[in-house]
Chain A
Amino acid sequence: MASEAKLPVRTPEESVSALSAMKAVFSRDLKTAFRQPQDLLNPLLFFVMVVTLFPLGVSPEVAFLREAGSGILWVAALLSVLLSLDHLYRHDFNDGTLEQLVLQPQPLFLLVLAKSLAHWVLTGLPLVMLAPVLGVMVHLEGNSVAILCLTLLIGTPVLSLIGSIGAALTLGLRSAGVLLSLLIIPLYIPVLIFGTGTVMAASESASVGGQLALMGAFLVLALTLAPFASAAALRISLSNS
């Protein structure tokens, strides 16, 4: 099934531009993902369930939830992105698509970037869209919910991009899942700090422009640097197998 979606194939007469190759990789990833909708749903369900654990496990009181809510949502989103990262390269690695990607004449980091963006559209974006509902459930106020969604919107692509490095490094290893978390969680900490910090500042009605700008800087940094590291890691992992 998955192999039906075509990769960009270069014929001698017409060479595929990098941009259209990226588009092809991107749309192929979306297509293959939508053929297994349950895989798309699982991280979202995980997100909702982890958030549910906190009122049950710590305290259902409004005061606690209002204070901790943004942190809970951010941690839950971070964990569910982390869990979904295994899928980023795994299927393509198993059926050999990844080797074909590495062999493409287009720069690998651009294709990796396209894959990371597809991963974000499939996991990060649904989380952002689900966040307002959960935000209301943990009694965040209206403005905080909006800011929370905004921070998640800026932050989750960073999670996908950094995560792609870890996914590439642990490709084809035994117990890759736990190892991936070990490698990636320390790198996620700045995003988490700024994500929750911005919402906190918003709830104290302080200005959040600076923090949002810093998160934007993280995004730019991740967009420009992470694909290179991820591509290098992919080449290493493929030469290993």
Chain B
Amino acid sequence: MWQIFHKLGSPKWFFGIASTLMPWLLVAGAALLMTGIVWGLVFAPQDYLQGNSYRIIFIHVPSAFLAQSVYIMMAVAALVTLVWRMKLADVFVTAVAPVGAVLTFLALFTGAVWGKPTWGTWWIWDARLTSMLILLFLYFGVMALGAAISDEKSSARAVAVLVLVGVVNIPIIKYSVEWWNTLHQPATFKLTEKPSMPAEMWVPLLLSVLGLYLIFGWLACLRMQTHILAREGRTRWVKELVQARGN
């Protein structure tokens, strides 16, 4: 048990594991995502109310889903960084933050594209939209702080503190934004949440969510590998690896 724990902390061990895992993640993720999206975009039935415009859900929902869970994963990694000082955990946080920000942006963007035909407006100060926007700000804050501190170790720990403070705040922000929204306008937009989705709709949605998770896993491995190479550039195994690949 403890040996596994120790191994997990070793960048070299992770580098090898990631290299073997990545092709599987990529292939499985791409297959699932493609199936889900093609099924959703081409074969799934039309929505009786929104026609074809609802189909953006197959991109919107997975990215929104991931955007939130990436932050949670970052928070767990941040806790590990602070408590056990595990190198890999802080590599994960710094490597993954931009991915999370992009996914959040994607969720907001597709939401805006979806909002135009259904609500008649690109943007509305609705509770969910606003809390996603704030999540994007949190990601930007994490990235900005990480970039501002040049020393790797203290950068990682400072970012970990910020991520944890953010994760304590996420429920508060979410709740307060919901409260604030209901004060001003009644919840008219709930009609876009299809109460009972037929299976032809939710199965491809589930597939694309799972696929995006796997793709995210692949991307996280790739980015972590890059960060590890940059950080451990002076160690012997990296030099040997680079020389082996170079020849």
CB-CB under 8 A from A18, the residues of chain B are none
Q: Residues of B with Cβ closer than 8 Å to A?
A: 82, 134, 137-138, 140-141, 144-145, 148-149, 151, 154, 157-158, 161-162, 164-166, 168-169, 172-173, 175-177, 179-180, 183
CB-CB under 8 A from B137, the residues of chain A are 182, 185-186
Asked if A147 is at the interface of the complex by the 8 Å CB criterion, the answer is: no
CB-CB under 8 A from A186, the residues of chain B are 134, 137-138, 141, 166, 169, 173
User: Smallest CB–CB gap between A149 and chain B, Å?
Assistant: 21
Asked if A9 is at the interface of the complex by the 8 Å CB criterion, the answer is: no
Q: Given A189-B134, A190-B169, verify A233-B158 contact (CB < 8 Å).
A: yes
Q: Given A183-B144, A236-B154, verify A169-B134 contact (CB < 8 Å).
A: no
A182 B141 Cβ-Cβ under 8 A: yes
How many angstroms from the CA of A117 to the CA of B75 in the assembled complex?
28
A183 B172 Cβ-Cβ under 8 A: no
Asked if A145 is at the interface of the complex by the 8 Å CB criterion, the answer is: no
User: Smallest CB–CB gap between B136 and chain A, Å?
Assistant: 9
User: Smallest CB–CB gap between B83 and chain A, Å?
Assistant: 11
Name the residue among A200, A237, A240 with the largest chain B CB count within 10 angstroms. Answer: A240
User: Smallest CB–CB gap between A219 and chain B, Å?
Assistant: 13
Contacting chain B: which of A35-43, A129-137, A171-179? Answer: A171-179
Nearest chain B residue, comparing its CB with the CB of A165: B165
User: Smallest CB–CB gap between B192 and chain A, Å?
Assistant: 24
How many angstroms from the CA of A179 to the CA of B137 in the assembled complex?
12
Nearest chain B residue, comparing its CB with the CB of A183: B141
A182 B144 Cβ-Cβ under 8 A: yes
How many angstroms from the CA of A179 to the CA of B172 in the assembled complex?
22
B141 A240 Cβ-Cβ under 8 A: no
Q: Given A193-B177, A240-B149, verify A229-B164 contact (CB < 8 Å).
A: yes
B140 A182 Cβ-Cβ under 8 A: yes
CB-CB under 8 A from A237, the residues of chain B are 154, 158
Q: Given A197-B183, A239-B154, verify A179-B144 contact (CB < 8 Å).
A: yes
Asked if A102 is at the interface of the complex by the 8 Å CB criterion, the answer is: no
B161 A193 Cβ-Cβ under 8 A: no
Asked if A84 is at the interface of the complex by the 8 Å CB criterion, the answer is: no
How many angstroms from the CA of A159 to the CA of B160 in the assembled complex?
21
CB-CB under 8 A from B145, the residues of chain A are 169-170, 179, 183
Q: Given A165-B165, A185-B137, verify A190-B148 contact (CB < 8 Å).
A: no
The 10 closest A-B pairs by CB, nearest first: A240-B154, A190-B176, A186-B137, A183-B141, A193-B180, A236-B157, A193-B176, A173-B148, A190-B172, A236-B158
How many angstroms from the CA of A125 to the CA of B61 in the assembled complex?
45
18 A-B pairs (CB sep. < 8 Å): A165-B161, A169-B158, A173-B149, A175-B148, A182-B137, A183-B162, A186-B137, A186-B138, A186-B141, A186-B169, A190-B176, A229-B164, A232-B161, A237-B154, A237-B158, A239-B154, A240-B149, A240-B151
Nearest chain A residue, comparing its CB with the CB of B156: A236
Asked if A194 is at the interface of the complex by the 8 Å CB criterion, the answer is: yes
Asked if A187 is at the interface of the complex by the 8 Å CB criterion, the answer is: yes
User: Smallest CB–CB gap between A37 and chain B, Å?
Assistant: 32
CB-CB under 8 A from A189, the residues of chain B are 134, 173, 176-177
Asked if A45 is at the interface of the complex by the 8 Å CB criterion, the answer is: no
Taking A169-B161, A179-B144, A186-B134 as given, write out 20 further A-B residue pairs in contact, using a Cβ cutoff of 8 Å, ordered by the A residue number: A165-B162, A169-B158, A170-B145, A174-B148, A175-B148, A185-B137, A186-B138, A186-B169, A187-B165, A189-B176, A189-B177, A193-B179, A193-B180, A194-B176, A197-B180, A200-B183, A229-B161, A229-B164, A232-B82, A232-B161
How many angstroms from the CA of A179 to the CA of B149 in the assembled complex?
11
Asked if A19 is at the interface of the complex by the 8 Å CB criterion, the answer is: no
CB-CB under 8 A from B140, the residues of chain A are 182
How many angstroms from the CA of A194 to the CA of B173 in the assembled complex?
11
CB-CB under 8 A from A200, the residues of chain B are 183
